[in-house]
Amino acid sequence: MRTTADITAALRDEATRRVAFDRLTGEYLRPLYWHVRRLVVSHEEAEDVVQETFVRAYDRIGDFRGGDGELRAWLYRIATRAAFSALRRRRRSIFVSLDAVSRELAGAVADEAGPDADEVSVRFQQAVLRLPEKQRLVFNLRYYDELPYAEIARILGQREESLKVNYHHAVKRLKEKLKTETI
């Protein structure tokens, strides 16, 4: 099994599913961990969410009908939903928005990063966490994960045009925020 097409074919076969899923996990564990970590901030919570992601994916792999190019988007979609479920559990009240929870997480970034962390990187991540939810998601997937807009559209179930607008606004807000903080 070398390609995503090989993995996808093996996942559909009961006899090779477990080995193929182990390969899939090995290939996507690190990128999904960092995607989730940027959303939930905490290392421990990110590990839990990624584990939950792979458990859900394994349980539903028999229902996966996408093509070879859809597998990564499907995993990112599961991970994103699991991360936001974890963030919803953090809310102290049903009236607290996820954006408010993310702003609280921005304060925890420095603690999670540790004393040797680069100050500019910490401030940048704090600024990203203060973006509205959609802008933050699109920015993370495009900037950090370097995904094309077409794939981000499959992950988030949105049109490419609106994602480009969200990314543009995110970059503009980040530039403004970082410029005013450095003065």
Coil, strand or helix at 42 = coil
**Cα(92)–Cα(101) distance, integer angstroms:** 9
Burial class (CB in 10 A: 0-12, 13-18, 19+), 48: middle
Higher pLDDT, 135 or 91: 135
Q: How confident is the model at residue 183 (pLDDT cuts 50, 70, 90)?
A: very low
Distance of alpha carbon 159 from alpha carbon 86, whole angstroms: 26
Which DSSP category does 114 fall into?
A: -
Residue indicated by tokens 């503009």? 172
Contact predicate 53/5, CB 8 Å: no
**pTM for this prediction:** 0.81
- Give the per-residue pLDDT at 14: 77
Look up the CATH number of domain 1-90: 1.10.1740.10
37: amino acid identity, one letter: R
Of residues 97 and 118, the one with the higher pLDDT is 118
176, two tokens: 């403004």
- Would you say residue 3 has pLDDT above 70? no
CATH architecture of 94-183: Orthogonal Bundle (1.10)
Q: Which residue has the tokens 């960092």?
A: 34
Residue 15: Cβ within 10 Å count: 8
Going from the C-alpha of 75 to that of each of 4, 17, 25, 159, 182, the distances in angstroms are 13, 16, 10, 19, 37
* Rounded Cα distance, 115 and 98, in Å: 28
Write down the domain spans for the chain.
1-90, 94-183
Residue 115 φ/ψ, nearest 5 degrees: -70, -25
Give the count of alpha carbons within 13 A of 32, CB side only: 30
- Mean pLDDT of the 52-68 span: 85
To 5 degrees, how large is the angle CA 92–CA 174–CA 28? 70
Q: What would you measure as the largest C-alpha separation in the chain, in angstroms?
A: 61
126-180 residue pLDDT tens: 889 889 989 999 999 999 999 999 999 999 999 999 999 999 999 999 999 888 8
